[in-house]
Structure 1
Amino acid sequence: MVAMLIGLFFELGRPEVILASVLVLFLFTGIITPEEATVGFSNEGMLTIALLFIIAGSIQKSGIVDRTFLRLLKGSYSPKKRLAKLLFPISMISAFVNNTPIVIASTPMVKKWCMENGVSPSKFLIPLSYATILGGTITLIGTSTNLVVHGLLVENGYAGFSFFQLSAIGIPITLLGLLYLVLFSHHLLPGRRISNLSEPVLKEYTGEALITAQFPYINLTVKEAQLRSLKGLFLVSILRNEHAIAPVSGNTILKEGDRLVFSGDISTITDIQRMKGLELQESTGSSFPDHHRLVEGIVTHHSSHLFKKVKDTNFRSQHQAAVIAVHRHNQRLQTKIGDIVLKPGDVLLMVAGEQFDKKNDFYAITPIDYKLVTKRQIRMGWLSIGWLGMMIALVTFNVLSMLTAMAVTTLLLFLTKLVTPGEARDLIQWNVLLMIACSFGIGAALLNSGVATSMADSLITITQPFGLFATLLSLYVITNVFTEMMTNSAAAVFMFPVAMEVARTLEVELMPLAITVAIAASASFITPIGYQTNLIVYGAGGYRFHDFLKIGFPLTIIVMVTTLVLVRFHLMA
């Protein structure tokens, strides 16, 4: 388990591969049975999450969410009123729609609006992510973490959460959290001038250009070719016969066949294509796709391309796209594009063809050519929202179980052709489901091996002299630390068996402890790696790691104290 945590924290591999490997190890050593190893693949919570991906995707593709954001951003207000107008509706939307597509849709719009109105996007994007996280705690379907804990409760013979059961905690922490963000985020977050937003320090892509025979400065120096004075570009290195010349001197002689590695913003790198004798290179070295367009995408922490060289990812056949530049959190990459090893959060500048397919490997957050949404798509989107509302009503009034209601809603989407089977396959994040399913078997190993009991006993022994509140506090803090180190769902599954043992030993109800674990696992505010939405805005807003700590730590304290007080004196009264 320690090795698993280290692997997740230091990103030694894709999370689902690490978890699956640990699961197989536990199965091989007999710590868990084959039935326990595979129980997560039929768990109600995991299956519900799969169906939720399809339902949320049908609403997302209609463009209704995009239009809503455009309306929210209209008008001229003070910074605090402007933020309040944006965050409160977003948090309510994220209570019913998966927060990841909300942030994906809103990020480019917020950035563009900020640029047009002379406001720094860094003042808005972290609050945007946090608002969706807070809103997701209000309902059962607001976040996958709630559904995972619900599935664990059902798996162990408990009733599980009702649709609005978490609202008693979720609504207060959302209101207090949003109030904090509106009042203080403007002072705590960095503000960068609009004129600086295109400087390399904020959006520093690494691109590669080939010197051909038509280049007029062959056998002349870098200085004479004026390659050191390009606006917004920095010549990082020259690759010649598999050898790198770095740093580059102004007196370096340029040769035909040299590959120039540049760092700079999108517009300047793409302008290289217009310079005579310089050809912008893609990772495979072949020509760009026909009828191409530029797309900016961010690599997710569950992408199949992680920890592979760009040239080994087979981008063209998988996505009909070519990678021409890479941006990594304010780092200046000094190698050719094809040799860059991709990591979570890397932003890729791609030339995409007409059949561009993003799959689940990265998020297209800034398409250069924005597609207009038809009236038919909007009508279909409202119909999807209608089916979702019907599903919520059926679950709320206990007519159907959550899984059954989700399955019926998905079937209606298929029958009304709002979603095709092919679209459903692409909307489901299979890597996320694999990771969650494996987590259930790992949770069983914690129980079978006695680790969960040992952790629970240690937690109780240390905190019992200080009362039940101290025990709740310790359970929350440990869960929250784990969710900042790894994914939120994995942290919930890891800590749920401990919560069960604490409830059994202290002879208290499990439900309040399960709610504590669910909220603590979702409340990832201190680091950008614990939650997908934080990872999305991390690169898009040009943030640094400490920006999340500065604004996220007070929010973490607010959410923690509010949750524990309500759980202790309301739910456990």
Structure 2
Amino acid sequence: MTDALSIAALLTQGTVLAVLGTLAFTRIAPDVILMAAMAFLVISGILTPGEALVGFSNPGVMTIATLYVVAAGLKETGAIQWLAHRLLGQPQRLRHAQLRVLLPASGLSAFMNNTTVVAMFIPAVQEWAGRLRLPPSKLLLPLSYAAILGGTCTLIGTSTNLVVNGLLQTEMGIGLSMFSLAWVGVPLVVVGGGFLYLFADRLLPNRQGVLEQLEQAREYAVDVVVDDKGPLVGKTIADAGLRHLSHGYLADIERHGRLLTEVPPETELQAGDILVFIGDPECARELRRIHGLKPASGDVHKLDIAHHHRCLVEAVIGPDFGGLNQTVSESRFRSRYQAVILSISRHGGRLTGKLGDIRFQVGDTLLLETAQDFVDQYRYRKDFLLVSGLHDSTPPDFRKAPVALGILGAMVVASASGLLSILEAALLAGGGMLVTRCVPASKARRYVDLSVLIVIAASFALGAAMTKTGAAAQIAQWLLLSDDLAPWAALALVYLMTVVFTELITNNAAAVLMFPIAVAVAEQLGVNFMPFVIAIMFAASASFMTPLGYQTNLMVLGPGGYRFTDYLRLGTPLSLIVGATAVGLIPLVWGF
């Protein structure tokens, strides 16, 4: 019997290592990896089908699914934009502007999905920074970090908290209330937010002057062709109205294989001239309105979409994009997404050279021409982390923003007062969003990210196998190093291990994998397991050092023109401060 258990434990540990390695070092979709691991555990007999599928009925997972609908109502009504424009104000100094970003971002993300908060704030902050002539690179990363910190204050602030609370309910019969985590979360917001307020300006880049940074934060090269049957043939550049565009300038002309640079305004246009314009994303929309110019990319005409149904979209490549490290041509981008790439920006600057030969990287910002439903289709998929639709045909219905905020407030009050459980309150709030038409049912379905839900639910199978086979107890024994290790030191080790897992794989999967290990550590020390479980909640959210650890970090990579080193420079001290504060406070609230 012991041998059988040992073999099962070894198989489970091997499965966990394989999952970690595959998630960290390959581009296979996380839901595929976790479902494969779950299938192996069932087929090998380690888990029964009922044990393996328990995650799909977990209240935490179902709460996350329901909150997607609540977030959809807030997004579609523009409730966050409505609040953002009222809260951002007109500060005169960068420090005041940072404070105006930190406070609402952390406050809002305590009560709703922080990805939604950041997605709505990015265009608002960019437009606001442009108007105030402030560098967005000083504001967008603090926005992401503030949203992450704010999410730790309540049970619904981040999906990780709901997942771990679901595990506590099913495994231990214990449930946390809405504001249980605020005793530690609020001090973390104060300490972390204070650090960002004092040091973000010094540690974040401003690689050019303020105006140049604003102009180049999302700068593209857009190629158009002079139509041989159009009215521009024979006209000078000045007469054609191409000299004083609002959003870009004519940089070069490619004519019969020769490149003409620094072209004077009296240059006459010839049929077939390829004109290269440099500017922000709106430049492409401006050029589309000029009769006699057509996109240089022949792919645009191959789109099976009527011209009046097309729009311009700016999207950031995510970690699960299928064509990573492939060239644009190799990825068959147009046929896969029914979208044409007009230009690519990387680290805040445009990429030059032949578009088809550029290799995709995580964080690249693409300017696309595509169908109007592209934004809805890919808004919460990890192929792209969408920044904005630049020609959105369905602007938010701001009249319903107060209704959506009222539903959110009612959900928080009902749950916090104990009148309803978190799941019951979320179900009613989701229903309220549909009944009041804050979001149509058809759009609400698109917001529910099945791949994320599958990752979380399938992760439960790994956790169950680690507990059942004794693998978690064995890992806990290795982690403790010695039998007389102090509980505080063990808590710090569990926190550190969770942070490492979070930076390598998804935060929810890290939390589920660490849960049985944390419980086993507490059992071996003979102390209360609650401090260790709470530490997992905070550590799994505290991803500041890489753009890949947390989705909001990746979302600001392109718009802020950041490099990976910027995350290390600001995120490493923030991680240390947040970690030390959390490990110090948690045992004072949940004693050993």
TM-score range, shorter-chain basis?
Answer: 0.7 to 0.9
Q: Secondary structure at the match of 1:156?
A: helix
Among candidates 502, 508, 513, match of residue 483 of structure 1: 502
Q: CA deviation at 1:444?
A: 1.8
Residue 356 (structure 1) shift: 4.5
Q: Aligned-pair distance for 1:326?
A: 3.1
Tell which deviates more after alignment, 416-425 or 165-174.
416-425
* Residue 389 to residue 166, structure 1, CA distance change in 2 (3 Å): same
Matched, 1:547 2:563: no
How much does 1:296 deviate? Answer: 0.9
Matched, 1:534 2:553: yes
Query: Structure 1 residues 398, 271: closer, same or farther in 2, change over 3 A?
Result: closer
Q: Is the 8 A contact 2:125 2:136 kept in 1?
A: yes
Choose which of 515, 524, 537 in structure 2 pairs with 1:505.
524
Give the Cα separation in 2 of the matches to 1:372 and 1:355: 10
TM-score scaled by structure 2?
0.81
Where does residue 447 of structure 2 map in the other structure?
Answer: 427
The alpha-carbon deviation at position 467 of structure 1 amounts to: 1.1
Choose which of 387, 392, 398 in structure 1 pairs with 2:407. Answer: 387
Mapped to 1, the partners of 2:512 and 2:174 lie a distance apart of: 17
Percent identity (aligned): 37
Counterpart pick for 1:151 among 132, 145, 166: 166
Distance in 2 (CA, whole Å) between partners of 1:318 and 1:53 is 26
Q: Is the 8 A contact 2:491 2:531 kept in 1?
A: no
What is the rounded CA distance, in whole Å, between the counterparts of 2:58 and 2:321 in structure 1?
23
Deviations along 1:246-289, one digit per CA (max 9) or x if unpaired, are xx999xxxxx9999999986466778877988742165651564
Q: What is the aligned partner in structure 2 of residue 523 from structure 1? A: 542
Distance 1:193 1:494, change over 3 A: same
* Cα pair 1:145 1:518 within 8 Å, conserved: yes
Specify the SS of the correspondent of 1:365.
strand
Corresponding residue number in structure 2 for 1:93: 108
- TM-superposed CA distance for 1:409, in Å, is 2.1
* Alpha-carbon distance in 2 for matches of 1:270, 1:415: 37
Correspondence for 1:358 among 373, 376, 385? 376
Contact 1:139 1:166 in 2 (8 A): yes
Q: Give 1:402's aligned residue.
A: 422
In the other structure, the counterpart of 1:35 is 50
Query: Which of 432, 435, 443 in structure 2 is aligned with 1:412?
Result: 432
- Counterpart for residue 442 of structure 1: 462
1:286 to 2:302 alignment: yes
1:190 matched to 2:205? The reply is yes
What secondary structure does 2:376 align onto? coil
User: How many aligned residue pairs are there?
Assistant: 545
- Asked if the contact 1:321/1:352 (under 8 Å) is kept, the reply is yes
Q: Which amino acid aligns with 1:290?
A: H
Q: Which amino acid aligns with 2:491?
A: L
Task: Determine if contact 1:456/1:501 at 8 Å carries over to the other structure.
Answer: yes
Partners of 2:388 and 2:50 lie apart in 1 by 44
What are the Cα deviations for residues 413-460 of structure 1, in whole angstroms up to 9, with x where unaligned? 333333322121011111111111111112223223433222101112
Q: 1:32 to 1:205 in 2, by over 3 A?
A: farther
Match in the other structure for 1:17: 32
- Distance in 2 (CA, whole Å) between partners of 1:184 and 1:409 is 39
Which whole-Å CA distance do the structure 1 matches of 2:473 and 2:277 have between them? Answer: 55
Counterpart-to-counterpart distance in 1, 2:52 and 2:125: 43
Q: Match for residue 173 of structure 1?
A: 188
Closer, same or farther in 2 for the Cα pair 1:303/1:148, shift >3 Å? farther
SS of match in other structure, 1:162: coil
| Aligned mates of 2:423, 2:110 — CA distance in 1 | 18
> CA offset at residue 293 of structure 1?
3.1
Please say if 1:325 is aligned against 2:307.
no
Contact (CA 8 Å) 2:133, 2:211: kept in 1 or not?
A: no
Give the 3-state SS of the residue equivalent to 2:315 in structure 1: strand
Measured after TM superposition, the shift of residue 503 of structure 1 is 1.8
Residues in 2 aligned to 1:314 and 1:35: alpha-carbon distance in whole angstroms: 41
Q: Report the 3-state secondary structure (helix = DSSP H, G, I; strand = E; otherwise coil) of the residue aligned with 1:75.
A: coil
Secondary structure class of the residue paired with 1:324: strand
Secondary structure at 2:343 match in 1: strand
Counterpart among 323, 335, 347 of residue 365 in structure 2:
347
TM-score (norm 1): 0.84
Provide the C-alpha distance between the structure 2 equivalents of 1:10 and 1:334, rounded to a whole number of angstroms: 29
User: In the TM superposition, what is the alpha-carbon distance from 1:157 to its structure 2 partner?
Assistant: 3.0
Shift of 1:24: 2.2
C-alpha separation between the residues in 1 aligned to 2:348 and 2:40?
A: 38
- Work out the CA distance in 1 between the residues paired with 2:433 and 2:218: 40
Query: In the TM superposition, what whole-angstrom CA distance separates every residue of 1:449-493 from its partner, at most 9, and x where no partner exists?
Result: 43322210111234x544111100000000001111111111111
C-alpha distance in 1, partners of 2:372/2:350? 31
- 1:131 corresponds to 2:150: no
Shift in CA distance, 368/32, structure 1 to aligned 2, threshold 3 Å: same
1:324-349 CA-partner distances (Å, limit 9, x unpaired) = 23334469868865676755433221
Structure 2 SS opposite 1:293: strand
Match in the other structure for 2:124? 109
* Match of residue 80, structure 2, among 55, 65, 73: 65
CA deviations over 1:513-541 (Å, ceiling 9, x no partner) = 11100000000111111111101001110
The 5 A counterparts of 1:208-227 are none
- 1:563 aligned onto 2:582: yes
Cα drift, residue 232 of structure 1: 8.4
Contact 2:142–2:196 (CA under 8 A) maintained in structure 1:
yes
> Quick one: which amino acid aligns to residue 533 of structure 2?
A
CA–CA separation in structure 2 for the residues paired with 1:103 and 1:310: 28
Correspondence for 1:492: 511
Residues 416, 110 of structure 1: alpha-carbon distance in 2 compared, 3 angstrom cutoff: closer
Cα distance between partner residues in 1 of 2:175 and 2:551: 25
| Corresponding residue for residue 226 of structure 1 | none
Contact 2:77/2:438, CA 8 A, preserved across alignment: no
Shift of 1:363: 4.4
Q: Do the aligned residues in 2 keep the contact of 1:129 with 1:534 (CA within 8 Å)?
A: yes
Alignment partners' CA distance in 1, 2:228 and 2:250: 26
Following the alignment from structure 2 to structure 1, what is the Cα–Cα distance between the partners of residues 425 and 494?
Answer: 32
Give the drift of 1:161: 1.6
- Where 2:313 maps in the other structure, the secondary structure is strand
**For residues 91-142 of structure 1, what are the alpha-carbon distances to aligned partners after superposition, in whole Å with 9 as ceiling and x for unaligned?**
1111001111111111112112222222111000000000100000000000
Q: Secondary structure at the match of 1:566?
A: helix
Cα distance in structure 2, aligned partners of 1:95 and 1:569:
22
Secondary structure class of the residue paired with 1:470: helix
Distance in 1 separating the partners of 2:498 and 2:429: 33
Return the alpha-carbon distance in structure 2 between the equivalents of residues 70 and 85 of structure 1: 11
SS at match of 1:48: helix
Counterpart in 2 of 1:220? none
Name the structure 1 match of 2:241.
none
Q: What is the rounded CA distance, in whole Å, between the counterparts of 1:7 and 1:205 in structure 2?
A: 34
Paired residue secondary structure (1:509):
coil
Deviation at 1:184, TM superposition (A): 1.0
Change in 2 beyond 3 A, CA 1:280/1:294: same
Structure 2: stretches of 5+ with no match in the other structure: 1-15, 234-247, 262-270
Judge which range, 208-217 or 33-42, deviates more.
Answer: 208-217
The 1:272–1:178 alpha-carbon spacing in structure 2 relative to 1, beyond 3 Å, is same
